[in-house]
């Protein structure tokens, strides 16, 4: 074969190979466009269409008159959604916002190490100026976008903070436990107070909007054929609290005072005000609290995040003498006219120890009524020995102490009323002596209560035996006005005859209104107040000041317990707080609430 034939053969081979290649391309093209068309259309749509969440507004929290004390407000966050190379965009964004890029990069790395596909909220609660800067430069910030979010707002700042609680970003463990309920990484969740206790109904449901994005993830526009799913707002909480009274009681605590006060409605248990000082500002948490602010709050020696009304356990001091008196009457050990064998001469010797009375010169011989009015320790030492530790513990439990009330705030503690077994377990057999019972009888030693427990107890005494579970929720309403939850009154009768209760009430009236009473600082010219002072020994400093009272004495509409730490005698500091709170509420009762249980709109 010549040179020409060889060239012709090679040409034919080349043409054949080209035809084979073209055929293969046509076959593959057909496979892509016909056989696998649906699959690739779906991939294309996934890259082109992105769902953007529309955050729900969290339910509002309102007092009984409709005053809003917590609600949602609009906020904007800088979000990284791309999993590709993101460092350059994050650094540019940090420079635009005047923030530390290293901190933002660390945030991305930490979250991506655990959840590589989840969007990362880099900066929350952006200012309008910051939003404008990012929006103007979005073309240079691939993988980043501004997203709307609903943030929590407490319009009264630190007022009522231990009632409201706070909302903060969901933690990793919380999210892993709750993500099946619709939580996304970076969502807000109730961490304390009502925000935590009623999280399930305060939280709504996100809506969604489908948008078209370009190759860099920038939003081009909406997609009309894919309708928006509207968010579902959370449920509003209507409380038993009267915010006017709440603010007033808050004002009675000077900035340097540490303590708590609880005001509630006897017979129903509706809490009218709850104060714990020091307090905190819930707004610090809504957009993500800074490390500096968190350390300041968490390391403050006065523990502003701690709700002293329901979580702090105090010796009740002489406010506990009501329990001792009722127990002795119920056991028929005494009558209201009974005198003790040993008169008060400033103290009494029990075993090898001398137990002093607060009045060094003594009170002389008193009956039960005057022993309560003048708060004679020697009288109650002797009652304690008659009852014994077992009797004191048994009746304290019957009167509602040593257990949580069932209040609708998280982390309420039970308190402590020790039994003989409690002492023997810790100190061994033979540990229970008459001196221990004597000490318990005046509210000292190992006995511990919360301000909420004491308010509920005195409210029950004032109502002549009707104990009511304290609560904050009056009703829960959906955005359309439908009521989804109502208060449930929970009451029981104290196992004390009414004539014994009446005798103790009259003695408590004398505590406040008789010339020799210890609670004169709670006296009112407008209403008859009944109550009891208490000075609780504190091994770590000055005594704690207690006062618990109710009014009007004949048929009370309010009961108040106040404790001020390291403030000395109950008559000096706590009693005026209770007296002024009662007077203020009696004046406020002239204007009816918007939500009043039986009288709902």
pLDDT computed for residue 6 by the predictor:
65
Tens of pLDDT along 130-171? 999 999 998 888 888 888 888 999 999 999 999 999 999 888
| Rounded Cα–Cα distance for residues 277 and 160 (Å) | 10
Backbone angles phi, psi at 88, to 5 degrees: -65, -45
Identify which of 55-64, 465-474, 514-523 has the greatest average pLDDT. 465-474
- Give the pLDDT band of residue 30 (cuts 50, 70, 90): low
- Please, is 572 exposed, middle or buried when counting C-beta atoms within 10 Å of its C-beta (0-12, 13-18, 19+)? middle
Comparing 48 with 534, the larger pLDDT belongs to 534
With cut-offs at 50, 70 and 90, classify the pLDDT of residue 490.
very high
> Which has more confidence, 504 or 142?
504
Q: Which domains does the chain have, with CATH numbers?
A: 50-239 (3.90.1310.10), 243-599 (3.40.710.10)
Section 101-130 average pLDDT: 86
**425 SS3 class:** helix
Classify residue 569 as left (phi > 0), alpha (psi -120 to 50) or beta: beta
Higher pLDDT, 593 or 447: 447
Q: Residue 135 in contact with residue 167, Cβ under 8 Å?
A: no
CA-CA distance, 520 to 387, in Å (whole number)?
Answer: 30
pLDDT recorded at residue 328: 98
Question: pTM surpassing 0.75?
Answer: yes
Per-residue confidence at 216, pLDDT binned at 50, 70, 90?
low
Phi, psi of 27 (to 5 degrees): -60, -45
CA-CA distance, 107 to 219, in Å (whole number)? Answer: 24
> Residue 105 — very low, low, confident or very high, per pLDDT cuts 50/70/90?
confident
pLDDT reported for residue 38: 52
Q: Is the per-residue pLDDT at 217 higher than 70?
A: no
**pLDDT for residue 29:** 59
Q: Is the pLDDT of residue 221 over 80?
A: no
**pLDDT given at position 190:** 95
Confidence of residue 40 (pLDDT cuts 50, 70, 90): very low
User: Nearest CA to 449 among 380, 550, 536?
Assistant: 536
Q: What is the mean pLDDT of residues 281-299?
A: 90
Q: Sign of dihedral through CA atoms 333, 336, 337, 343?
A: positive
| Confidence class for position 39, pLDDT limits 50, 70, 90 | very low
**Percentage of residues in the chain having pLDDT higher than 70:** 87
Give the pLDDT of residue 514: 95
Say what the pLDDT of residue 223 is: 66
How much is the pLDDT for 597?
47
- Output the pLDDT for position 231: 81
| Least-confidence region, from 282-291, 418-427, 439-448 | 282-291
Q: So what's the pLDDT on residue 26?
A: 62
Mean pLDDT for 89-113 is 88
Across residues 501-509, what is the average pLDDT?
Answer: 98
Least confident of 138-152, 201-215, 282-296, 571-585: 201-215
pLDDT at 215 over 80: no
Higher pLDDT, 86 or 378: 378
pLDDT band for position 469 (cuts 50, 70, 90): very high
* Burial degree of 34 (CB within 10 A; 0-12, 13-18, 19+): exposed
Biggest CA-to-CA distance, the chain: 146
Cβ atoms of 262 and 240 closer than 8 Å: no
Could you tell me what percent of the chain has a pLDDT over 90? 65
Mean pLDDT of the chain: 88
Average pLDDT of span 563-568? 89
Check residue 170 and give its pLDDT: 86
Per-residue pLDDT of 349-386, as tens digits, reads 999 999 999 999 999 999 999 999 999 999 999 999 99
Tell whether the model's pLDDT for residue 315 goes beyond 70.
yes
Q: Which of 29-33, 74-78, 510-514, 538-542 has the highest mean pLDDT?
A: 510-514
- Is the distance from CB of 528 to CB of 554 less than 8 angstroms? yes
pLDDT confidence band for 476 (50 / 70 / 90): very high
Strand partners, 531: 549
Question: By mean pLDDT, which of 44-58, 255-269, 311-325 is the weakest?
Answer: 44-58
Q: What does the pLDDT average to over 510-514?
A: 97
């Amino acid at each position: 074969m010549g040179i020409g034939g060889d060239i012709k053969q090679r040409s034919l081979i080349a043409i054949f190979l080209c035809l084979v290649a073209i055929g293969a391309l046509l076959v593959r093209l057909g496979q892509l466009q016909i056989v696998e068309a649906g699959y690739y259309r779906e991939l294309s749509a996934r890259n082109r269409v992105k769902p953007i969440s529309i955050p729900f507004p969290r339910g509002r929290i309102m007092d009984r008159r409709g005053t809003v004390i917590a609600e949602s407000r609009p906020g904007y966050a800088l979000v990284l959604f791309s999993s590709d190379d993101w460092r350059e965009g994050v650094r540019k964004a940090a420079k635009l916002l005047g923030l530390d890029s290293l901190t933002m990069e660390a945030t991305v790395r930490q979250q991506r190490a655990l959840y590589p596909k989840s969007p990362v909220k880099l900066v929350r609660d952006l200012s309008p100026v910051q939003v404008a800067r990012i929006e103007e430069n979005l073309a240079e910030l691939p993988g980043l976008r501004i997203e709307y979010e609903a943030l929590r707002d407490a319009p009264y700042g630190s007022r009522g903070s231990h009632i409201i609680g706070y909302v903060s970003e969901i933690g990793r463990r919380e999210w892993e436990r709750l993500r099946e309920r619709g939580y996304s990484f970076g969502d807000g969740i109730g961490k304390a107070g009502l925000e935590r206790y009623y999280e399930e109904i305060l939280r709504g449901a996100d809506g969604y909007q489908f948008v078209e994005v370009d190759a860099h993830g920038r939003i081009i526009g909406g997609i009309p054929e894919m309708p928006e799913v509207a968010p579902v707002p959370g449920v509003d909480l209507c409380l038993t609290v009267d915010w006017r009274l709440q603010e007033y009681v808050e004002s009675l605590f000077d900035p340097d005072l540490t303590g708590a006060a609880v005001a509630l409605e006897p017979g129903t248990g509706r809490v009218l005000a709850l104060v714990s000082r020091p307090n905190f500002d819930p707004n610090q948490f809504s957009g993500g609290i800074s490390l500096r602010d968190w350390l300041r709050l968490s390391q403050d020696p006065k523990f502003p995040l701690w709700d002293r009304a329901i979580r702090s356990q105090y010796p009740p001091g002489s406010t506990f003498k009501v329990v001792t008196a009722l127990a002795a009457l119920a056991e028929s050990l005494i009558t209201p006219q009974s005198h003790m064998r040993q008169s008060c001469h400033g103290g009494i010797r029990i075993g090898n120890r001398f137990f002093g009375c607060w009045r060094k010169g003594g009170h002389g011989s008193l009956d039960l009524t005057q022993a309560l009015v003048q708060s004679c320790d020697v009288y109650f030492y002797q009652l304690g020995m008659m009852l014994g530790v077992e009797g004191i513990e048994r009746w304290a439990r019957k009167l509602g102490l040593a257990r949580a009330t069932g209040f609708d705030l998280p982390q309420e503690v039970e308190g402590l009323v020790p039994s003989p077994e409690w002492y023997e377990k810790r100190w061994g057999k033979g540990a229970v002596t008459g001196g221990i019972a004597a000490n318990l009888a005046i509210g000292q030693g190992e006995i511990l209560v919360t301000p909420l427990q004491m308010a509920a107890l005195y409210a029950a005494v004032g109502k002549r035996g009707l104990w009511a579970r304290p609560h904050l929720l009056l009703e829960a309403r959906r955005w359309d006005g439908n009521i989804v939850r109502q208060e449930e009154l929970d009451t029981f009768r104290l196992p004390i005859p009414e004539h014994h209760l009446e005798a103790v009430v009259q003695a408590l009236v004398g505590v406040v209104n008789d010339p020799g009473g210890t609670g004169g600082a709670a006296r009112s010219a407008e209403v008859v107040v009944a109550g009891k002072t208490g000075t609780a020994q504190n091994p770590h400093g000055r005594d704690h000041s207690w006062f618990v009272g109710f009014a009007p004495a004949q048929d009370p509409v309010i009961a108040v317990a106040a404790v001020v730490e390291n403030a000395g005698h109950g008559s000096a500091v706590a009693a005026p707080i209770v007296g002024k709170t009662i007077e203020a509420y009696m004046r406020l009762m002239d204007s009816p609430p918007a939500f009043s249980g039986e009288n709902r709109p």
